[in-house]
Amino acid sequence: MPHTDKSQAFLEQFPALEPDQAFRFACHPGVECFNACCSKLTLSLTPYDVLRLRGELGLSFREFLSGYASLVHAPDTNLPAIRLEMLKDKAGSCPFLRSHGCSVYPNRPGACRTYPVGRAATVERGGFRERYFLIQEPHCRGFAEQRIWTPCEWLADQGLPPYNASNDRYVNLMAGLRERGMRVPPRKSAMVVMALYGLDEFRAFLRQMNVLEKLGLPPEGIAAILANEEKTLDFGFDWMNIILFGNFPGH
């Protein structure tokens, strides 16, 4: 999950794990509590989560937002974020939960992939610091299973490297705002939403305004950004560094 004060406090309730420290866990339909952790969630979706879910569902950003999520703002930085809305049923279920499990499993959010390992990434002098925690909740019977993992093995098995790489750029953006004591100005808030979440709209904006050409990017780089949403998002973080901080990293 992206680092916030609340998420940090939540993770620190649980025992810390070293990257090579073993733990026992498995989750599958045969586990007694299967699907029990997929309800009544306060689940913030990272930009990369939204990218993957939109691709799975075949939706535009606006369709996804109106059907499954809500727009919120961080109280300290006013950085826009997207929160997944639970159903209004008695259980408060995730909208993607079915009796057989997760209906978007190949493109499920990073927080769902990570569980039961919590990963906290913070920006410190000299780079990122990663810490791992074991989120061992009383209802979960997965810890009685026999499969042995280390945090690094678990994150690799769950397909987290691209999620974490993108999410760390989001963490870095939050850290940049905090270090400067900045709040995202209301007039720039819509641009943040478009560049990080509304990638279909962002690509249309880039084309219409010839942004990439004006920045002097090579033709092959421009083509990649306009053809591949992961590349579009990667540039979106660069664009936010221009809009918010006046610099263009990596170019």
Could you identify the residue written with the tokens 């279920």?
Answer: 93
Predicted confidence (pLDDT) per residue in 95-151, tens digit: 999 988 999 999 999 999 999 999 988 877 767 788 999 999 889 999 999 999 999
Q: Is the pLDDT of residue 250 over 70?
A: no
Average of per-residue pLDDT values in the chain: 92
Predicted confidence (pLDDT) per residue in 80-95, tens digit: 999 999 999 998 999 9
List, in sequence order, the alpha helices (H) in the chain. 5-11, 47-57, 61-68, 110-114, 151-157, 161-180, 186-196, 199-209, 211-214, 219-227, 229-240
Higher pLDDT, 1 or 211: 211
Predicted confidence (pLDDT) per residue in 148-177, tens digit: 999 999 999 999 999 999 999 999 999 999
pLDDT for the residue numbered 9: 67
φ, ψ at 42 (rounded to 5°): -105, 95
Q: How far apart are CA 75 and CA 55, in angstroms?
A: 29
Token pair belonging to 70: 């809500």
High-pLDDT (> 90) share of the chain, %:
82
Which residue type, as a one-letter code, is found at position 227?
A
- How would residue 1 be classed by pLDDT, with cut points 50, 70 and 90? very low
Please give the model's pTM, rounded to 2 decimal places.
0.92
Cis ω on the peptide bond leading into residue 80 (within 30° of 0)?
no
Q: In sequence order, what are the beta bridge partners of 134?
A: 117
The bridge status of strand 43-45 relative to strand 117-124 is: unpaired
199 close to 60: Cβ distance less than 8 angstroms: no
Count Cβ atoms below 10 Å from residue 162 Cβ, excluding itself: 13
